[in-house]
Every structure is written in structure tokens, then in C-alpha cells.
Chains A and B, each alone.
Chain A
Amino acid sequence: METFVFFYFASIIVVTAALVIGLKNPIYSALALLVMFFHVAGLFVTLHAEFLAIIQILVYAGAILVLYLFVVMLLNLKREEHFHSQWIVGLFLGCVLFAEAVLLVVKGETTLGDNLATPTASIELTQGNTESIGELLYTTYLFPFEVASLILLVAMVGAVILTKKGIMEVKG
């Protein structure tokens, strides 16, 4: 049953990921990405990462993708007629990279299996997934958490400066 669920999610993820880069219309690409985000969230649920599944939907599908669609509609784009002229090279490089990844997994199977042979009794089920993550986030990873907030602040300031007309002209 779990294998079936995994293969359902995996096949939809791969197909929609291919559609994202294959479709000509950017809006359709973004919508394909939306379907992919939902299925990645489903995969997270099967992996007992419920909090991240919700965050995935809220942040990726709710915020990031809406931002993309907003910009696509703001710019009123024409359809792209051709791929880049180097698309054969790009496809070849992608295949090589994927072959390398598969080779690494196949060759590393034995060591990987040894390490994972005794899965520690998974996540503590006495407290919820959200509670455990919050505890970890505010104790062990407190400093990276603060740095993440700084990154968001920098991104916000950067976005405003880049898009607001007149800021650069006044200085230069």
C-alpha cells in the first residue's frame, strides 16, 4: 500500500516537473508546478512530516507561486516559440547528471543499507511533529533561525530597492 502511494506521488511529481519545463505558456508551467507542490506535500505526509507538508502548501503554493503568477500576468508575456539553441547539450548534461546520481545510489546501496538497517524508532510520537520541530528550532538551531529572519529582511529591502523607480537615479 505504501509503495503504491509512493509511486502515485512520484509519478505525478515527475510528470508535472517535466510539464513545467516543457510547456510553452508560463502560466501553464506555474500551474503544473502548483500540482507538483501539492504532491510533494502529500509525499511529506507519508514521511510523517505533517508540519512541513502544511508549510509547503502555505508558503510554496500560497505565497511563492502566487508571486510568480502575479509577475507573469503583470508582464503580459508572449509565448516562447523555441527552446534555447543549446537544448540538446542541456538535455544531454541533464541525462549525464541523472545517470551519475543513479550510479551513486546503486554503488552506495550497501553502505547506505548498513547505516539505515536499524532505523531508530522514528520520531517520538509522544509529542506532535510540530511541537518537536519547534523545540529543535528554538534550541539547537536558534542562531540559524535568526539568520534566516535576517535573510528575509535583506530580500525584502532588496526587492523594494530593485523595483521602486527613482531610488537609483537619485543616488547616481
Chain B
Amino acid sequence: MDVPVSYYVVLSGIVFSIGLVGVLIRRNIIIILLSVELMLNATNINFVAFSSYLGNLSGQVFVFFALTVAAAEVAVGLAIIIALYRHSASINIDDFRLLKW
């Protein structure tokens, strides 16, 4: 337990920011979903670090739930990607601006 908990918070901040930048700068929808996974993992690191430092296992249970939601998100997200690809043979985010005025 030599490592202060703030190191973990900064690490997860870095990973979260990278995920956010990935969502903003990439045009491939699959990479955007991968970036969302990055952000979910950043929160998981935080949960586990605080759970370990506070000696409270609830944080680890919440990581479990976050994992469930991530799995559901991937299943639905990839299904949407396949439907989009069938619709217009592309997964470039620039091709889908139907809702943009």
C-alpha cells in the first residue's frame, strides 16, 4: 500500500481523457466504441483503488455492475454498427448526419 490513492486517480484521469479525446477525434464508429470502453475502464480503476484503500468491498461490486453494463453496451452498439453498415455500407461517422441540421 505504498502507492498513494491520488496516483490511481490521476492514472484514471489520464485514461478517461484519452477515451474522451478518442470519441471526439476518431471517425470510425468501432474506435469510438473502443474509446467508450477506455472510459469505463478508467472508472473501474478508480472504483477498485478506492475500494482497496477504504477497505470496503462495495467498490468492487460496482465494478461488477459496470462490467455488466459494458457488455450490454457492446452487444447493442455492435448490433447498431452492423445495421448501419447494412444501411449505407460505411461506418464512417461523417456519413451519418441525418439528425444534424
Contact = CB atoms under 8 A, between A and B. Distances in A.
A89 interface: yes
A98 B13 contact: yes
Interface residues of A, number: 83
Contacts, number: 234
Contacts of A10: 7, 11
B65 to A, nearest CB: 6
A102 B17 CA distance: 11
Nearest to A120: B55
B65 A67 contact: no
Contacts of A74: 82
A82 B88 CA distance: 20
A82 B94 CA distance: 12
A25 B45 CA distance: 27
A40 B54 CA distance: 20
Given A20-B31, A55-B64, 18 more contacts: A26-B30, A40-B45, A47-B52, A56-B67, A60-B41, A68-B34, A71-B81, A80-B27, A90-B21, A90-B24, A91-B21, A91-B24, A93-B21, A98-B13, A98-B17, A156-B75, A159-B79, A162-B79
